[in-house]
Amino acid sequence: MSGRTGIAFIGTGFVADYYMTTLANHPQLRLAGVWDVDPARLRQFSDYWKVRAFASADEAFADPAVAIVVNLTPPESHHAVNKAALLAGKHVYCEKPLAMTVDEARELVGLAAENGLILAGAPANALSDARAHCADILASSVIGTPRLAYAEMEDGPVFLDKWQEWRSRSGAKWPAVHEFEIGCTLEHAGYATSWLVSLFGPVANVAAFSALTFPNKGPGTEALALGPDFSVGCLTFRSGLVARLTSGLAAPRDRSLTIVGDKGTIVVRDLWDNRSPIHVELAGAGRPLLHRLIERLEWQFQRKFPFRLTAGKSVSYPHAAEKSVLPAYPSQIDFVRGIAVQADAIRTGTKPFFSGETALHLTDIVLALNAGRRDHTPTAL
């Protein structure tokens, strides 16, 4: 197909297979090639997907067919790879966060702006059908003015599972030890903050706490300095809304978002589901029959049943789902949608929402949550 935007992957680890899986949804993109610092892993990935392996990152940066460099390296490498790609004149799409410090992230955003380039950031789940559906429900004012939000990014006790055996589609090991060292907040909080900022605007203040609660995550982790496996932050938005965001690696899996307004409540069941069920419960309205029946039975048997129903009634999506390829549960996210939106912006001379100062703002928030900063004012938008 002519006119397609050329992209290159730098990094072919576990997450790269999610990108390859969802690349099929966006025929306007063409993968020019991939590169990884690990030659064996690069060969395994390129052989499996039948894609070109660059001889070096510099070769990828110099390739005129590459318009967007997709940075899928570990977080510690994000700044260096992003900077090298921008200096080579390439647009960049980076996995979260943009860098490991706010100053480094600010430098990258400034460098991109100076050179007329777009630096965009993951995650792409806030470009989902579910997020658009939620925004429409909010715009209808059915729950009145949103006042309060509860966001959950609990991944469950994965360190008690058989993580040593987990493999990606092309055979990459899940980088468990590295994820435990980085901490759950840097890995997961962005999935919630991207939704919150896109729905309610910039954050004025972060009050956070983080801790390492389970210092032994299994074989090979006993002597390591591990990152926080729990964080909780209260976000005050300039719009007036207040949100509580919890990230963790021990509590039962929960990736929901609850928004409470003057007239009712919206519950998004799963922020990792491209078309997550979304429920609305109006204040004072009659509850669904099943909910009333379960409550009656609980009173009858004098005990709480071992499951929880989502409050309210499900709100149907206005349109049928488009045919698309998504990774298996629980990562039902179109990972490449963010790159496709960036490519469209480049062609039209516009700016995608999750780029530049917004990407910096989100990076600042997540870094503050991870560090447990008690009174932090993020970079202004």
Give me the percent of the chain exceeding a pLDDT of 90.
88
- Cα 1 to chain centroid distance, Å, stands at 30
Q: Which residue has the higher pLDDT, 310 or 379?
A: 379
* Bond before 123 cis per omega within 30 degrees: yes
- Using the predicted structure, report yes or no on whether residue 1 has a pLDDT greater than 60: no
Mean per-residue pLDDT, 279-289: 88
Tokens (6 digits) for 299? 């009173």
**Distances in Å between the alpha carbon of 76 and those of 105, 163, 235, 321, 379?**
12, 22, 26, 37, 21
Q: Could you give the domains of the chain?
A: 5-124 (3.40.50.720), 126-332+354-371 (3.30.360.10)
pLDDT digits (tens, 9 = 90+) for 51-74: 999 999 999 999 999 999 999 999
Please list, in sequence order, all residues whose beta carbon lies within 8 angstroms of the beta carbon of residue 144, skipping any fewer than 6 positions away. Answer: 261, 262, 263, 264
Instruction: Answer yes or no: is pLDDT of 310 > 70.
Output: yes
**In sequence order, what are the residues at sequence separation of 6 or more whose Cβ sits closer than 8 angstroms to the Cβ of residue 306?**
none
Q: What is the pLDDT of residue 2?
A: 55
Residue with the two structure tokens 């029959």: 289
Full strand arrangement of the beta sheet holding 91-94: 29-35, 5-10, 68-71, 91-94, 119-121
H runs (alpha helix) in the chain: 16-23, 39-49, 57-62, 78-87, 102-114, 129-139, 176-182, 184-200, 289-301, 337-348, 356-371
> DSSP labels for 229-297?
SEEEEEEEETTS-EEEEEEESSSPPB--EEEEESSEEEEES-TT-TT--EEEEETTPPPPHHHHHHHHH
Closest to 121 measured CA to CA, from 156, 83, 71, 53:
71
Element (H, E) at 205: strand 203-211
Q: Is 371 helix (H, G, I), strand (E, B) or coil?
A: helix
pLDDT digits (tens, 9 = 90+) for 135-180: 999 999 999 999 999 999 999 999 999 999 999 999 999 999 999 9
Q: What is the pLDDT of residues 314-333, one digit of tens each?
A: 999 999 998 999 999 999 99
Q: For residue 290, name the pLDDT band (cuts at 50, 70, 90).
A: confident
**Residue 34: pLDDT above 80?**
yes
Cα(371)–Cα(369) distance, rounded to whole angstroms? 5
3-state secondary structure of 325: coil
Question: What's the pTM value of the predicted model, to 2 decimals?
Answer: 0.94
Query: What are 253-262's pLDDT values in tens digits?
Result: 999 999 999 9
- State both tokens at 71: 């940075």
